[in-house]
Every structure is written in C-alpha cells, then in structure tokens.
C-alpha cells in the first residue's frame, strides 16, 4: 500500500467532485444557437406525422411558420427546409425544382416574412422532385448525368436565393456543383448568400426514415446512390471532397451522417479549420427514439450526449431532428 507521501500529487477526480467545478472546467459547450432543426413542408394529404420518425411531422405552410417562430423563441438561429412533392408533380428531370411558385419557394418566402431573424437553409437537390428518386437527371444509359445535373442545381440554388434563402445547401454530391452555384450567385448579385456544402456525404444506410418523410423511398426502389455519394469505408477521400468544395466557394462544409463519422468530422476540422456542420440524420434520430420508447435509454441524457460528442469532434453546428427538444432541455 502506498503511503500518503508517495501518492501522486495530481488527482484528476478533484475537478469532478462537485457540479460547479465540473461545469467550470467543461471543455465542450452546447447551446441552442449551434443547433439547426430540419423541417419537412407538405400540402394536403401529405401533411402529418412521419411514422418512421416519432415526433416529426410534415408541416403545412401555416404550421411551418408557427414552428419556426417557436424554434426561434427557444434560441435556434436557423432551420433547414425540405419539401414533400406530390407524386404527380415528379418528373424524370425534376422540373418542379425550377418552379418559382413551388412549395419550397413559397415556404422560404413565408418563413422569411414571418420570422425574418431566423436563418433559412434551403436544400438544393433533385431527389424530392424526380420520378426515379435519384439526386440528378439520368442519361441514356440510366446513369446520373453529373454535368447536366449541375446545370439544373445552379438554377435551383439561384431561385431559392432570390426567394430569400440565407443559405443554399447542395446535398447531391455532384462534382463541381459548388463552383457552378457560386458563379451564378455572384453574377446575379447574391454574393452574400452562403453555400453550406454537403461536402462529405456518405452513401449511408441511415437515411431510410428521411426518404420515407419526403416520399423518395418508393421512387428509388432498390436503386442506390453509390456512384455519387461517398463509400463509408473512405476517410482520406473526404478531405479531397472538402478541399474541392472550399476551392469552389463553399462557406461551410458538412459531414453526413454524424455519429458514425466522428473521425471524419475531426479530420476535416483539424485539416481545414473552417466552419464544419454535422448532420445527425434520420436513422440516428429514429434509433434513439425507438430505444427511448422501449425504456432502454434515457432520451434526454442520450440525445444531449450525442450532440456533445458531435461538438467535441469538431462540429460548429449540428443539423438534428432533436434540435427543438435539445433547446428546450438546455433552457430548462
């Protein structure tokens, strides 16, 4: 047995003994302003609860505006909007993406008019609008045509910027699309519109509930997105993707999904030192919800722990379907 005189003089447990000191020495902080709530907007019969995402609904325009006001009052500073397109308005080329009176355009205008201080992040992608569920248009061989898709995406991004979106967020993973978008935004006088690039978006199995929510799962069928989204086995490639998007004019880069890719978030933050977003995706949300409903996990403690982990890994901001709940808990 060690005597008192030989015991180490440093006892790390001293700073863990009381709540006041634990809070003072805490290295990573979590605040509502760092959270972004993804919101689904729909019309008519498409509105209502998302069965595979307990607690999440597809809002009509009035409900969307009310929810945005409530989120802002809780301390959130931005929301990310995702439209639910009726099947009859989906086409092979995703034409509804360029409709200036689309649901997405009306949603952006409505939120900015009602809650002008709230940042609006507009998803730029074609999968909510295509009859085949892919993020781009298809060529004669049935493959996603990268360059033809970029031409549509830049027009879509400009349309959303003109509607009042503060941030356009290309989530498709086409090569060169950030450069196309930045060029057209600068040319059209939208130089202050931010680009939040889904720079390292993986072909993940965690996206299922989201595809249910926007109605693209049935369109995609057994098809996949491995030809343009990243292989989950690759980490070095993420740095190449981020470097390209930053060179093309991205202001913020995203890693998606979140928790399974903490190592990628850390590498991106360390290597580039730029604003980094993480997306705690639908599958992550639904797993935690299901376990909490079974009584296997404490939802509040578990969700807040996962968000702290994302922050600790290097995420400056987190898109999470738990943003409203987390902001409520943090303010309690």
- Which residues make Cβ contacts (< 8 Å) with residue 73, sequence separation at least 6? none
- Helix 146-163 / helix 103-114 crossing angle, nearest 10 deg: 30
Q: Is 256 a catalytic residue?
A: yes
Cβ atoms < 10 Å from Cβ of 331: 11
Pairing of strands 57-59, 48-49: antiparallel
**Identified catalytic residue from 90, 225, 256, 289:** 256
Mapped to the 3 state alphabet, what secondary structure does 93-126 carry? CCHHHHCCCCHHHHHHHHHHHHCCCCEEEEEECC
**Identified catalytic residue from 90, 112, 201, 225:** 201
CA distance 65 to 76: 14
* Cα dist from 300 to 62, 291, 296, 317, 322, whole Å: 29, 12, 12, 19, 10
- Measure the CA dihedral 301/306/308/309, to 10°: 140
- Which residues make Cβ contacts (< 8 Å) with residue 8, sequence separation at least 6? none
Helices (H), the chain: 19-24, 61-73, 103-114, 146-163, 177-187, 208-214, 217-220, 236-248, 262-272, 282-293, 299-313, 323-331
- Measure the CA dihedral 27/28/30/35, to 10°: 160
**Contact status, residue 279 vs residue 204, Cβ threshold 8 Å:** no
* Cα dist from 321 to 118, 123, 307, 318, 324, whole Å: 17, 15, 11, 10, 8
Residue 241 assigned ligand-binding role: yes
Q: Is 294 a catalytic residue?
A: no
The annotation places the binding site at: 241
Catalytic residues: 201, 256
The annotation places the binding site for Mg(2+) at: 241
């Amino acid at each position: 047995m060690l005597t008192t005189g030989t015991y180490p003089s440093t006892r790390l447990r001293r700073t863990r003994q009381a709540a006041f000191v634990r809070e003072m020495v805490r290295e990573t902080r979590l605040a509502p302003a760092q959270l972004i709530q993804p919101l689904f907007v729909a019309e008519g019969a498409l509105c209502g609860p998302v069965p595979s995402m307990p607690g999440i609904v597809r809002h009509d325009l009035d409900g969307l505006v009310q929810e945005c006001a409530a989120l802002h009052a809780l301390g959130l500073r931005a929301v990310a909007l995702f439209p639910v397109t009726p099947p009859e308005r989906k086409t092979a080329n995703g034409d509804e993406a360029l409709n200036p009176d689309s649901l997405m355009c009306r949603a952006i205008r409505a939120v900015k008019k009602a809650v002008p201080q709230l940042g609006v992040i507009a998803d730029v992608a074609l999968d909510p609008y295509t009859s085949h569920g892919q993020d781009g248009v298809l060529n004669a061989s049935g493959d996603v045509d990268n360059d033809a898709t970029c031409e549509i995406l830049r027009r879509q991004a400009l349309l959303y910027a003109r509607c009042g979106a503060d941030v356009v967020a290309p989530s498709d993973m086409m090569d060169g699309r950030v450069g196309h978008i930045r060029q057209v935004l600068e040319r059209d006088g939208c130089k202050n519109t931010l680009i939040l690039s889904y720079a390292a978006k993986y072909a993940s199995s965690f996206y299922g509930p989201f595809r249910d929510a926007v109605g693209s799962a049935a369109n995609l069928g057994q098809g996949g997105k491995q030809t343009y989204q990243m292989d989950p086995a690759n980490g070095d490639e993420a740095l190449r993707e981020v470097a390209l998007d930053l060179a093309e004019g991205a202001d913020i880069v995203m890693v998606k999904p979140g928790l399974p890719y903490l190592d990628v978030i850390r590498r991106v933050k360390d290597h580039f030192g730029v604003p980094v977003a993480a997306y705690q995706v639908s599958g992550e949300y639904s797993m935690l919800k299901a376990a909490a409903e079974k009584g296997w996990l404490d939802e509040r403690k578990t969700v807040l722990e996962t968000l702290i982990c994302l922050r600790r890994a290097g995420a400056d901001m987190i898109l999470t379907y738990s943003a409203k709940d987390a902001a409520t808990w943090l303010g309690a």
